[in-house]
Structure 1
Amino acid sequence: MIKLVSFTAAVCWGPDEPFKIEEIEVEPPRALEIRVRMICASLCHSDIIVWVTVQPLYPRILGHEGVGVVESVGEGVIDLKQGDTIIPTFIGECGECINCLSGKTNICFKHPMLIDGLMPDKTSRLSVGGEKLYHMFTCGTWSEYMVLSVAYAVKVDASLPPAHASLLSCGFSTGYGGPWKEAKVEMGSTAAVFGLGGVGIGAIAGAKMMGASRIIGVDINNKKKEKAEFFGMTDFVNPIEVGKSASEAIKEMTGGLGVDYSFECSGVEVLLNEAVAATVPGRGMTISIGTGVDVSFKMFQLAMNKTLRGTLFGGIRPRLDLPTLIQKSLNKVFMQTYH
């Protein structure tokens, strides 16, 4: 008989329904699993999409960004121990499958993104009132405790501020990886970032780190301008204020050519076409980072020898690349570089 321990969590009972703080039951970890006491959790646009539109799996605990402390470990866990601080990841990295060995992608065949709201073995460690609880991707961070496969956990230094660690588990890292891992932005190139939320700020920081000479941010919220400038944005476009499309404004700012790279980080359907249109014909590249819905795309843009590339987690490999960002954050590199 598996002993259940009671904690509280924000439980979603249906699309668009308000979350309810419920007492839930959390099983101890099984083999190659850890049970984690959550310290901090973030809200990501992907959580909203899943809540209202994707896969009606209820009751459900959402949240996939967060940081916590290992409370207990299951059989066979050797790389983590009780008391370690970890962040969850929504993809894994086995280092052995053909994709991992290629060095060209972060899509691991052995530890893929899970979208059925269950553990890798297709069961749940969570329940509410005796009813099975689903979670988001590999876990549900909007809970006091959660159980996680060690394949989707990365250890972090306990001195890293929890809010920073939480954002590194998805949002900021996803944006940062776009220019770094996917586009491989060249020194002196130009870039545009559509949407200046957590992902967009990460994309700006990544483009700056790669040496982009001009980084144009696009948003309709002027309050985001100051923070984006702090991380490296050189120009700002609010399409509503300038009275023209973002792509038109960007072309005017770049001598009619457009930018070398654009990063769509908003998830707003119409902006993917704008992001592609804003790039220079013949070699422009657009990385679709934030789009989470089906879009109607103008294919003639690609006929101009432009490239549109999708990405998951910004191309970041959890075990090989995340430690680099964690160390940069610990060293306050982002603040020192852009202050």
Structure 2
Amino acid sequence: MADTKPKPIQCKAAVCWEAGKLLSIETVEVAPPKNGEVRVKVLYTGVCHSDLSVLNGSLKIGQKPIILGHEGAGVIESVGSGVTDFKQGDHVVMLWLPQCNKCKSCKSGKTNLCDEFLGGTQGLGTMLDGTTRFTCMGKQIYHFLDCSTFSQYIVVPEMSVCKIEPSAPLDKVCLLGCGIATGYGAALNTAKVEPGSTCAVWGLGPIGMAVIMGCRKAGASRIFGIDINPDKFKQGKAFGMTEGVNPKDHDKPLHEVLTEMTGGGLDYTFECIGNVKCMQTAFESTHKGWGKTIIIGIAPSTDEFCTKPFNFAMGKRIFGSFYGDYKGKDDVPRLIKGYKNGEVLLDEFVTHTMALDKINEAFDLMRESKSLRSVINMWA
């Protein structure tokens, strides 16, 4: 009888050997999936700013050497023992924020923060059993957020994979694994923006543009885009921005400018940069009594947010948002339906598509603010 048990696979991957260095295209060996795991052939992956933050050393997640990437889509190649929800050939999107549907948090209905993410092994760069599935030149290579989509093949826990319909274009829906869902959901789920409201978005990168898209979907009457690069304003208007504001164009503090422009302050503000000074400005720009600030950007872990306690006494509120308060397994298929009916824009975010061996160029484009989202064709 033929042996159908999955075997190790050799493939190409972009390896981060140490922070501050270029990614290196290497041949890696990917072990078979173990109990509760699946092995995925990654076809497309987005390049996210979180990947850059780990690459340059400002975000301390996992260990080196590591394979980055977490906005991936592909096809199930094989499944490990105990896996019943997936089979070979299923089309999937990877989830850096897992959904186990078993833990207290998943069952609570109050959060999308699965306990396996909060207290699991992601920060160590290993699978749940404390080991890795990647090796290169005899060395252990660590995982990134249970995804590592900069490899042509990956092994992930089944709770970190979402099955999608085969007709969905993988080179577009891969973006729903992180940035687009994060911004869109922050407006619709976290803030619950209301029709006729005023909103402002700090940082017109992909997440900021997705926030704008969500505010427009919710019916906001005025949507301000805040950025020091005025070249982004034209692009912002394509997603629904009504007014662009460059802080460098004003002598007054920005919160005073926005308060005057809106007759007392904004209903909703969103910080998408990860800059605590911008967070403070966004908070101070909201209307007393009901203003909401949503913090999306990830600031360095040593930074602290400061404000006057009286702001809270005046009814202003501040919220954090992780992955737009979406649960991946439940909500990615719904977002794909929104994409198909034209409510969720994805094509417009993809400014560059390139092969795996050009991935360092994708990071250069990001650093130089010349891309919105680069998508890597893993097999080009």
TM bracket (short chain) = over 0.9
Distance 1:319 1:81 in 2: 16
1:160 to partner: Cα distance? 2.5
1:168-317 pair list within 5 angstroms: 168-255=176-263, 257-293=264-300, 294-300=303-309, 301-317=311-327
Q: 2: CA distance between counterparts of 1:265 and 1:130?
A: 40
Secondary structure at the aligned position of 1:115 is classed as helix
Q: Is 2:34 aligned against 1:25?
A: no
* Residue of structure 1 aligned with 2:68, choices 62, 72, 75: 62
Q: Deviations over 1:152-193 (max 9, x none)?
A: 101123333333212110000000111111111222211111
Distance 1:246 1:66 in 2: 37
The 1-side partners of 2:345 and 2:315 are apart by: 37
Secondary structure at the counterpart of residue 274 of structure 1: helix
Distance (whole Å) between structure 1 residues aligned to residue 244 and residue 149 of structure 2: 34
Secondary structure of the 2:53 match is helix
Q: RMSD of the TM alignment (CA)? A: 2.2
Q: Which runs of 5+ in 1 are unaligned?
A: none
* Residue of structure 2 in register with 1:5 after alignment: 9
TM-score (norm 2): 0.83
Is 1:327 equivalent to 2:337 in the alignment? Answer: yes
Tell me the SS of whatever aligns to 1:228.
helix
Q: Is the 8 A contact 2:61 2:125 kept in 1?
A: no
Q: What is the DSSP-based 3-state SS (H/G/I as helix, E as strand, rest coil) of the residue aligned with 2:224? A: strand
- Is the Cα–Cα contact under 8 Å of residues 173 and 202 in structure 1 kept in the other structure? yes
Structure 1: distance between partners of 2:90 and 2:185: 26
Q: What is the identity, as a one-letter code, of the residue corresponding to 2:307?
A: K
Partner of 1:118: 126
Deviations 1:191-219 (A, max 9, x none): 11111111111111111222222111111
Amino acid at match of 1:149: P
Match of 2:163 in 1: 155
Aligned to 1:50: 54
**Residue pair 1:164, 1:329 contacting (<8 A) in 2 also:** no
Q: 2-side partners of 1:247 and 1:86: how far apart?
A: 43
Q: Which has the bigger relative contact order, CA under 8 A and spacing at least 6?
A: 2
In the alignment, the residues of structure 2 paired with residue 180 and residue 218 of structure 1 have an alpha-carbon distance, to the nearest angstrom, of 20
CA distance in 2, matches of 1:147, 1:15: 23
Equivalent position to 1:107, from 113, 119, 123: 113
2:85 maps to 1:79: yes
SS at match of 1:286: strand
- Report how many aligned residue pairs link the two structures: 336
1: CA distance between counterparts of 2:65 and 2:187? 37
Match of 1:142 in 2: 150
- What is the aligned counterpart of 1:37 among 20, 30, 41? 41
Seen in structure 2, the aligned counterparts of structure 1 residues 175 and 98 have a Cα distance that, compared at 3 Å, is: same
Instruction: Work out the CA distance in 2 between the residues paired with 1:71 and 1:55.
Output: 27
Kindly indicate whether the alpha-carbon contact (under 8 Å) linking 2:62 and 2:143 is maintained by their aligned counterparts in 1.
no
Q: In structure 2, give the amino acid aligned to 1:201.
A: M
8 Å CA contact retained: 1:60, 1:135: yes
% identical equivalent positions: 41
Deviates more, 1:289-298 or 1:183-192: 289-298
Residue 87 of structure 2: SS of its match in structure 1? coil
TM-score by length of 1: 0.92
Q: Secondary structure at the match of 1:48?
A: helix
Gaps of 5+ in 2: 349-380
Displacement of 1:264 in angstroms is: 0.6
More deviation in 1-10 or 270-279? 1-10
CA distance in 2, matches of 1:304, 1:69: 51
3-state SS, counterpart of residue 217 of structure 1: strand
User: 2:168 & 2:232 partners in 1: Cα distance?
Assistant: 25
Question: CA shift at 1:101, angstroms?
Answer: 2.9
Partner SS state of residue 291, structure 1: coil
Does the C-alpha gap of structure 1 residues 155 and 3 become closer, same or farther in structure 2, counting only changes over 3 Å?
Answer: closer
Conserved? CA contact 1:272–1:291, under 8 Å: no
Measure the CA separation in 1 of the matches of 2:197 and 2:345. Answer: 22
> Are 1:47 and 1:136, in contact at CA under 8 Å, matched by a contact in 2?
no
